[in-house]
Chains A and B, each alone.
Chain A
Amino acid sequence: MEARVRLTGMVRHLIGEGECRASLADDAAVEDLLRALVERYGEKLGERLFRAPGELSGSVRIFVNNQAVTNLKQKLGAGNAGTAQISIVVLSPVSGG
């Protein structure tokens, strides 16, 4: 299956362009996609995405086919004819009060 990914937020300086595609196994889950992205863009991206191994950072939000996802085990491709639209938003730490 193919994942079309829009990566937004505090990762732009790591990845350059905000959109990419990834080819994954048909039964790939969110965690497989994230692993593939970290392999492609480096461990610095991993530090942004994960708080601890397997634990998503509090400032990361993921949408798969427009549905918010919190379970990294969720499959990407279900019911989507082999293509999943993914949006990953990495929120900036904020200063204010």
Chain B
Amino acid sequence: MASIDIVNVHKSYGSAHVLKGIDIQVDDGDFLVLVGPSGCGKSTLLNMIAGLEEISDGDIRIGDESMKDKRPSERDIAMVFQSYALYPNMTVAKNISFGLEMRNFSKAEIKERTESVSKMLQIEQLLARKPGQLSGGQRQRVAMGRALVREPKVFLFDEPLSNLDAKLRVDMRTEIKKLHQRLGATIVYVTHDQIEAMTLATKIAIMKAGELQQLGTPDQLYNQPSNLFVAGFMGSPSMNILPATIAEQGGKLFAKLSQKNTDDLLLPLPEQTGYRSYINKGVLLGIRPEAITDPESADKDSEHLYIADCIVNVTEPTGADLFAITELGGREVIARMRANTPLKSGETGPFAFNMNKAVLFDPSSEARID
């Protein structure tokens, strides 16, 4: 088992600067998820940890050992690729045992480990088949088996579930999570699915255009996004971002939002030292759909609960919830209500704003204001 230290890592392809100084620390047994939009450099960073790409500048350390001059085979890692990369000419059993064979394990040991891994992944009956004769989910399991059988210090996953259909993806996600809990291994996992990131990770690193935006627990990223990009990336439907001004009334701070055809809405803000310097200035108010609810399902313990009547533009029932859409500060706002909330399009209804969950962003730097 091992920790991973990524220290000021840069990567350039010729003149293209793909990674611009990434710093990430992963503790032993952590499940780190790298997320970000396509092309932000997630795979590049993972390949550098694996040793498949050279480190242009900076250092990557696994268990306190610099990986700079180590070949992939010397790093004690295993990797699961997005395309699974199963060797087409070998049987499933050979695919799984190839790494052991290359490391000169004894025949008996190879057999024993292959059997126990295939039993764990329930692919025993497939051992004699070739990859071409397997379904997507089965291939995925074989690819996992190939990584597991080596019992490495670190597992690397590059979008291992993106080729599966939705149902299978959810099942495999749970299995990977269980596997992590059972093995206690250090895992680095790339995805651009934020739900996968939230459910699997103990730590999430969110990247954009080769730069780390935020590193933290899923809870930190979700509730205290460090900037607008992170706020918009995590969560579905995504956080409502509304132009507002900060107003002071009787020593208390409020976010003032313009409203169609009626008076401005004043939402009470929790006390934060940073907010004072924005009084009478424009900010961006970020509030998640589940922090705007019908009054009955609102969090009664919240000290900054505010109930306002708003015009409902549209309602979207999803079965479990009812999304009600209204307009504040000139932008559409999604609220997440109980499924049977009696709201009708075109009419006004009560909306409960849990302002304890709200965050403010500076409109020019897009960073969170504390």
Indicate whether A and B interact. no
On B, residues with C-beta under 8 Å from A are: none
On A, residues with C-beta under 8 Å from B are: none
